[in-house]
Amino acid sequence: MRKTLGVGAATALGLAGFALAGFALAAPQRDTFKVTANLKARFEVPKPTGVPTGATGLFTGRAVEMDSDRVRLTWRLTFSKLSGRADAAHIHAGRVGKAGGVMLALCGPCRNGQRGSGTISHAQLRTIRAGRAYVNVHTGKNAAGEIRGQVKASEVISGSGSGPPPPTSPDPTYPYP
């Protein structure tokens, strides 16, 4: 009888372990991507006017895939030597050298060193990973944008990493030099 109990317990534990392994495999994986963009006036489209020499910016952040069709983006934006106050900043969908629609409003008005967070869809994250999104900062003098940089999503920081790699950009200027 003792032997039967031992075999039964071992079988039950084995089945429980198998069920847990199956659950872990079925659970959605959360990947985290580092996102960055170096912003310069020469990257902005249309070309801005009256931008002081040395106007630059840096956008850094993390994109964390959530269980839903949402991605949590936390970010920091720094900039200097703009022609005036930063009225707004956005992430736009757009290839290098092309203007595009807003994906996510970052701030408005903006201050140097500002931090924030927002949500985007997985489709928008794929656009970012493919190099088809940019960040720009708008000023009163350059309402369409004064500085801009393509967003680059780098290494998977955590998660399974088993998803497909980001598509490569056919544009030889991506990312900007």
Per-residue pLDDT of the chain (177 residues; tens, 9 = 90+): 555 545 554 444 444 444 444 444 444 557 899 999 999 999 999 999 999 999 999 999 999 999 888 999 999 999 999 999 999 999 999 999 999 999 999 999 999 999 999 999 999 999 999 999 999 999 999 999 999 999 999 866 655 444 444 444 444 333 433
> The tokens 């092309």 sit on which residue?
98
Q: What pLDDT is stored for residue 28 in this prediction?
A: 54
42: Cβ contacts below 8 Å, ≥ 6 apart = none
Cα angle, residue 133 at apex, residues 131 and 137 outer, rounded to 5°: 135
48: Cβ contacts below 8 Å, ≥ 6 apart = 41, 83, 141, 142, 144, 145, 146, 147
Whether the bond between 109 and the residue before it is cis, its omega within 30 degrees of 0, is yes
